[in-house]
Amino acid sequence: MTSTIAVVGGGIVGVALARALALRGDAVTVLEKEDRLARHQTGHNSGVVHAGLYYAPGSLKATLCTAGRAALRDYCAEKALPYRELGKLVVAVDASELPALAEIERRARANGVPDLRRLDDHGALSELEPHVAGVAAVHSPRTAVVDYAAVTEAMAQDVRAAGGTVLLGHEVTSLAVTGPGGRRASLVAGELAGTFDRVVVCAGLQSDVVARLVGADPSPRILPFRGEYWTLAPERASLVRGLVYPVPDPRFPFLGVHFTRGVYDAVHVGPNAVPALRREGYGWSQVSLRDTWGSLSWPGAWPLARRHWRMGVDEVGGSLLKPLYYRRARRFVPELRPSDLAERAASGVRAQAWARDGSLVDDFAVDQVGPVTLLRNAPSPAATSSLAIADHLIREHLT
């Protein structure tokens, strides 16, 4: 039996879900508040298709990343979209990082990362990345890059071809459970006021705002973190052939500055991670007092600040002072010169979910309020996993 389903959010996860539902035969409507799809997280990342190196084995992150990478690769081939397996090196700069590198290797092998290789000397590393310094590395040759905005647009065309509707400029301002036994959901979005059998919220940076409309638990709340990038000067882009990542510090929730050659060959350095002063604040001048106060007044704000204030000071310093940012990047590429960071690239804002106790929610999280399904946290590798997330939501929540 055909169901009427509204999908709130026109990022890659929402559109991938709408596509899967439309192909199943449901009457699907995508509601996006912006004037184009992929306006925020989907269109402001480095385009990496992750292979599953970092994630705890058995977690949703790990299982959905593995399935999603394969599905995305096949989808790009089907639609003739660019998909480049440039490979990723996770580099230990000195011996102190070797235990953490060993843990990355253990997780990657447990997650079945294809063709993984450990490099235990600088010579082997230099064969892949001649300008990169380090004492050891893990190489993932199947890590790829794509254009996620182009992928999202292709999926939206699939939705329309299957009879679905994609509405831009339709911000959801009201959402409630209605009907006999609370089996349906009514919403208002722009000029549209309608009732649906099911509503699925994939609203990214606004996911907790939309969740509150239907009376869901305020936790987890979204804490926006801005990631800022520099672009390597074109004449120096040969310093990096593929993707060069640091060994993540387990004390901190972010990877740290790294080098990424994109699908169109520009090399980006970054991102850092600084608190955004607006949910969709892509620079220091973009401020929302409401969003900032909402973050500061959340019960988890001060526990989080006590735990990570040193990292916060360091990240803000790197944001404001180019020499600090440059010094972090130069650890991996000693030949890098300050002038090689030619210009700032477009920033992105990450929707980081955090709980009342100040802990950051690490895995995918889904809530259910009657006929309303709420994707409360969709962290990286959400774009990589988008097709697999769609299958998971349908299997677990939308049968």
Residues 332 and 245 in one domain: yes
Under the banding of pLDDT at 50, 70 and 90, the label for residue 254 is confident
**pLDDT above 80: residue 88:** yes
Under the banding of pLDDT at 50, 70 and 90, the label for residue 315 is confident
**pLDDT above 90: residue 301:** no
**pLDDT above 70: residue 1:** no
Domain assignment of residue 70, yes or no? no
Say how far residue 384 (Cα) sits from the centre of its chain: 8
Torsion of CA 120, 124, 126, 128, to 10 degrees: -110
Gap between the Cα atoms of 21 and 5, Å rounded: 8
Tokens, residue 294: 């909402």
Tokens, residue 313: 């000071």
**pLDDT above 70: residue 186:** yes
State residue 107's pLDDT score. Answer: 96
Domain boundary among 141, 176, 208: 141
State residue 43's pLDDT score. Answer: 96
Residues 356 and 366 in one domain: no
CATH of the domain at 282: 3.30.9
Rounded to the nearest integer, the mean pLDDT of the chain is: 94
CATH of the domain at 209: 3.50.50.60
Residues 282 and 381 in one domain: no
Domain assignment of residue 79, yes or no? no
The reported pTM is: 0.96
Tokens, residue 331: 């650890």
Looking at the 3D structure of the chain, how many domains does it have? 3
Residues 229 and 346 in one domain: yes
State residue 252's pLDDT score. Answer: 67
Q: Which amino acid is at 378?
A: A
Mean pLDDT on 338-348: 95
Gap between the Cα atoms of 194 and 186, Å rounded: 6
Tokens, residue 149: 């905005």
State residue 71's pLDDT score. Answer: 98
Closest CA relative to residue 323, chosen from 340, 339, 338 = 338
Residues 239 and 350 in one domain: yes
Under the banding of pLDDT at 50, 70 and 90, the label for residue 318 is confident
Closest CA relative to residue 210, chosen from 199, 194, 223, 195 = 199
Domain assignment of residue 207, yes or no? yes
Residues 158 and 243 in one domain: no
Residues 198 and 346 in one domain: no
Under the banding of pLDDT at 50, 70 and 90, the label for residue 251 is low
Gap between the Cα atoms of 150 and 374, Å rounded: 25
Residues 354 and 259 in one domain: yes
Domain assignment of residue 17, yes or no? yes
Under the banding of pLDDT at 50, 70 and 90, the label for residue 304 is confident
Gap between the Cα atoms of 15 and 132, Å rounded: 38
Residues 169 and 288 in one domain: no
Closest CA relative to residue 240, chosen from 113, 49, 343, 89 = 89
Domain assignment of residue 25, yes or no? yes
Residues 27 and 176 in one domain: yes
Domain assignment of residue 53, yes or no? no
Mean pLDDT on 35-53: 96
Residues 107 and 240 in one domain: no
Mean pLDDT on 109-124: 94
Domain assignment of residue 97, yes or no? yes
Domain range enclosing 22: 4-47+149-220+362-397
Q: What count of Cα atoms within 13 Å lies in the side-chain half-sphere of residue 347?
A: 21
Mean pLDDT on 117-134: 93
Domain assignment of residue 54, yes or no? no
Contact partners, residue 386, CB within 8 Å, separation at least 6: 12, 13, 16, 68, 72
Residues 93 and 169 in one domain: no
State residue 360's pLDDT score. Answer: 86
Write the pLDDT tens digit of every residue in 201-244. Answer: 999 999 999 999 999 999 999 999 999 999 999 999 999 999 99
Torsion of CA 324, 326, 327, 329, to 10 degrees: 130
State residue 399's pLDDT score. Answer: 87
Under the banding of pLDDT at 50, 70 and 90, the label for residue 29 is very high
**pLDDT above 80: residue 308:** no
Burial pattern 286-315, b for ≥16 Cβ within 10 A else e, equals bebeebbebbeebebbeebeebbeebbebb
Strand partners, 15: none
Could you tell me what percent of the chain has a pLDDT over 90? 87
Gap between the Cα atoms of 295 and 277, Å rounded: 9
